[in-house]
Structure 1
């Protein structure tokens, strides 16, 4: 049972980590190289895109006109964002300005010869083989590729979640000490009394059997 609970706890921890890693905002310093719209097939990866009632409408072939922002990191590696409204669904970014963000991104495009660096706040993952892209939330110019703006939003959310987790842990410990542990001790004591009575009854039964057998043998 202890092994099962340990495995269950590890799986739960991994799920929580992946959930937070996908949902919490992240910041990347990049250079915008292109902005465009593209008809994108939405199929098994639909969970990684905005809901149809907040994003652009899908056609009969399951395609959606999605805005994209092509960027390059300071190390020269490409990184692509999608730019969709989130509406009131999860995660709760309440984003309705994807068109404005697209215009801002287009205005901030630059070349390698004359780079203009920006910090893009987004959530989600980039999984190339699933055609999954992080969703850009905001764009802010920065002084250079070495700039790494502190991610205040994610840190504040993690501190709040940590505080709530600590509070739940304290409440659970108090509940266990006041309710579960006494009940377990009472159950153990009841089991010990029952076991003692069973042993006594067994001893009495053995004594009667021995006396009966001794009587048959004439002792």
Structure 2
């Protein structure tokens, strides 16, 4: 039972880590090398794409902006550029066209690089063709620029405070409401055991007397 309990909490912690790792903003230092507009079928791993409009859903496909980049180590990285609107995750992004124009203006070569920080959420996986969604682009001083994830720090600190607050409320509720009930049940059960033991003792005496 103990292994089951720890296994359950381990799976729960893993799911929580995956959820926040996918949802919280991340920052990559890259050089933009190209942009494109690609037709994407809605049914292709739709859970990892932004929810389409009713028109796109009826058509079965839609146009999606992509931003092609190179990392400082020379490895490629491709981002999609989709509006999130009012849906989850709550980035309230409505400016994918403007962001695409910014990305096109910042295209640079290896000989004369322009390094940018792309803020995004999501994962890149070549096997199932999923891409992180770019939400902001900012020019930085170079490939070694340091980006402090203030948003993540604030969100995680707030989450820890909420968890500790709820834990304190639960402990107080348990101490005031649940523990007394459990104590009463334990006392009642002890009384039942005492009466049962007394009844068994009297029964044995009577049987022994016969």
Query: For this structure pair, what is the TM-score category when the shorter chain's length is used for normalisation?
Result: over 0.9
Q: Distance in 2 between matches of 1:196 and 1:44?
A: 67
How much does 1:181 deviate? 1.9
Greater displacement, 2-11 / 191-200: 2-11
1:14-62 C-alpha deviation (Å, 9 max, x unpaired): 21111111111111111101100111233251011011129x82564x3
SS at match of 2:40: strand
2:149 matched residue in structure 1 = 151
**Contact preservation (8 Å) 1:84, 1:135:** yes
Q: Distance in 2 between matches of 1:44 and 1:206?
A: 76
Q: Distance in 1 between matches of 2:57 and 2:36?
A: 17
**Contact preservation (8 Å) 1:58, 1:65:** no
1:110 matched residue in structure 2 = 108
Q: Distance in 2 between matches of 1:174 and 1:199?
A: 37
1:70 matched residue in structure 2 = 68
Q: Distance in 2 between matches of 1:194 and 1:4?
A: 33
2:163 matched residue in structure 1 = 165
1:180 matched residue in structure 2 = 178
Task: Say which of 183, 198, 202 aligns to 2:200.
Answer: 202
Greater displacement, 94-103 / 42-51: 42-51
Q: Distance in 1 between matches of 2:77 and 2:186?
A: 61
* Bigger CA radius of gyration: 1
CA-based RMSD of the aligned residues comes to 1.6
Q: Distance in 2 between matches of 1:120 and 1:71?
A: 10
1:10 matched residue in structure 2 = 10
Q: Distance in 1 between matches of 2:58 and 2:33?
A: 29
1:48-104 C-alpha deviation (Å, 9 max, x unpaired): 1011129x82564x3321110011111111111000000000111110000000000
Q: Distance in 1 between matches of 2:8 and 2:186?
A: 26
TM-score, normalised with respect to structure 1:
0.90
1:25 matched residue in structure 2 = 25
Q: Distance in 1 between matches of 2:87 and 2:190?
A: 55
Q: Distance in 2 between matches of 1:44 and 1:78?
A: 22
**Contact preservation (8 Å) 1:28, 1:148:** no
**Which runs of 5 or more structure 1 residues have no equivalent in the other structure?**
213-219
2:45 matched residue in structure 1 = 45
